[in-house]
Homo-oligomer: A and B are copies of this chain.
Amino acid sequence: MNDGPHEFSRRTSLKWLSAEYHDLNGDYIDILENPPTNLEFARIVQISRPVVIRGFKVPGVSSNKWSNKYLINAMGSRLVSVAVTPNGRADAVTLGPDGKLYFAEPAMERMTIESLLENLSDDMNSDDNGVSLKTYYLQSQNGNVYSSRFFQGLDDPSEFEPLRQDIPSEVKWCTEALDKPPDAVNLWVGDGSSVSSIHSDPYENIYTVVRGQKHFTLLPPTDGWCLDERFYPHATYVRTPDQGGSMTLQPSPGNTPPVRWSSILNPHLPGRLPPEAHPIHISISEGEAIYIPVGWWHHVRQSGITVALNWWYDTEMRGMSWVMLSYLRAMKDVTSGNSNDEKSDVMVN
């Protein structure tokens, strides 16, 4: 690049960073047989690459505490917020009834854990080709177990109050390495028909599975240019009671800002990403955790009824890391997902 022209495309620049990152880092993922010490984890955070952590102890994993029976007994008639979609794709790009593409938010419905579990399937092979009319996914991800209020010593009501005794509010070695408490702790309950579309978070993430199995497709921040991000208009699924409870996608008011989102629906399938992308595929089982560093792209599927917990920690804004993530984001030319110039990849996914 040293002797190249003064002007060059942003894409060339992003490709250079992506290739250089891959040259130096490869696509390995470290597997720790036991949780790290705080110092070991501080070193891992500096490198900012995902790590699988075995022997991750959350109370009750070994004793099958997260069974339907236990959850129903503990939660009783309490209502919890559940995302409902016709296709398992909450927060994903979806074709609307008007033939336009939208970033679709799920409907949120409140139900008991018992109702939720009745709507989930333990079929390990179920996927979005199933005949289910609706997909339920407990994925409220707003600090549904502990929010930042909890860590500020404020009143922090939770739909999952009865489960708090089984869910530690922090991951000690992570809190010590980062020198701060989590910002949010979430419980996730879903089945094989729910998928989290590929995205990245402004958080350091410790994600553990306490029942079932999750399948992650991970890409480093430098591979973001491979994801065909576009601006999509916002829409929300609504239940239409007069039509037997079927769902329709309702475009949001015109002044709702469009959402920048990847057009690649299935990055885990062969041929969906450009050949320069270097996805890492890893499955996380009961008793394992994965560290997903800030800015890493992840697409998440699951097998059968899966219960997971995650601890989000605010990222370090000082230093170079956040500057770099902002730069990678700013360098991308992001066009409209409904432009006539070039069809979005989402149509073939």
Contact residues in B for A327 (Cβ distance below 8 Å): 16-17, 20
Contact between A316 and B2 (Cβ–Cβ < 8 Å)? Answer: no
Beta-carbon nearest neighbor of A45 in chain B: B46
Contact between A323 and B2 (Cβ–Cβ < 8 Å)? Answer: no
Beta-carbon nearest neighbor of A28 in chain B: B318
Query: For the complex formed by this chain, how many copies does it contain in all?
Result: 2
- What CA separation (Å) do A39 and B178 show in the bound complex? 10
> Which residues in window 168-192 of A have CB below 8 A to B?
176-179
Beta-carbon nearest neighbor of A46 in chain B: B46
Give the contact-size bracket for chain A. 35 or more
Which of B8, B25, B178, B318 sits near A10, CB closer than 8 Å? B8
- What CA separation (Å) do A17 and B321 show in the bound complex? 11
Contact residues in B for A24 (Cβ distance below 8 Å): 317-318, 322-323
Contact between B179 and A17 (Cβ–Cβ < 8 Å)? Answer: no
Q: Does A154 contact B (CB under 8 A)?
A: no
Q: Does A330 contact B (CB under 8 A)?
A: yes
Contact between B16 and A6 (Cβ–Cβ < 8 Å)? Answer: no
Contact between A2 and B334 (Cβ–Cβ < 8 Å)? Answer: yes
- What CA separation (Å) do A24 and B324 show in the bound complex? 11
Contact between A319 and B9 (Cβ–Cβ < 8 Å)? Answer: no
Q: Does A196 contact B (CB under 8 A)?
A: no
Please indicate which of the listed interface residues A318, A319, A330 has the most CB atoms of chain B within 10 Å of its own CB: A319
- What CA separation (Å) do A46 and B41 show in the bound complex? 12
Contact between B331 and A1 (Cβ–Cβ < 8 Å)? Answer: yes
> Which residues in window 88-116 of A have CB below 8 A to B?
none
Q: Could you give 10 example pairs across A and B, Cβ below 8 Å?
A: A1-B330, A7-B8, A7-B9, A16-B330, A20-B323, A20-B326, A21-B320, A24-B322, A25-B319, A42-B43
